[in-house]
A = this chain, B = another copy of it.
Amino acid sequence: MRIGELSRRTGVSERSLRYYETQGLLTAERTPGGHREYADSAVDRVARIQELYTAGLCSSKIAQLLPCMRDADGGPAATASARLITDLAVERERINRQIHDLLRSRDVLDEVIIAASGRPRSSVNQSKDQR
């Protein structure tokens, strides 16, 4: 598929998809004319990239990480280096902190929302991972 379709299917802008390529996060074949041609697996990969971005990892970390993740089609293509491992451990701590802060902030929001609306709205109390 080409970039427009991938953009539509992932909800990620074409600009970002091209950017991901420059960051080594995403690859594509090229048509003779130079247009990008993506494999179907690109959709999943973009979703994964987004996930990691949302989790606050930067491009370079994601780039290092991706080849170490087990792909839809098999085991990981690489094993993390010692250097990467220590980096990841740091990221993990940051993520833990962030989860902690998010949970507390969500609670704060709930308090404020409840206080203002008199009683809980629709689903304020189902606090687990609803999406």
Contact = CB atoms under 8 A, between A and B. Distances in A.
A91 interface: yes
B102 A69 contact: no
A113 interface: yes
A82 B121 CA distance: 13
Interface size, A (range):
35 or more
A92 B69 contact: no
Chain copies in complex: 2
Of A70, A108, A131, most B-chain CB atoms within 10 Å: A108
Interface string A45-71: 000000110111100000001001110
Query: What is the predominant secondary structure among interface residues of chain A facing chain B?
Result: helix
A72 interface: no
Contacts of A68: 112, 115-116
Nearest to A126: B96
A131 B96 CA distance: 7
Nearest to A91: B109
A39 interface: no
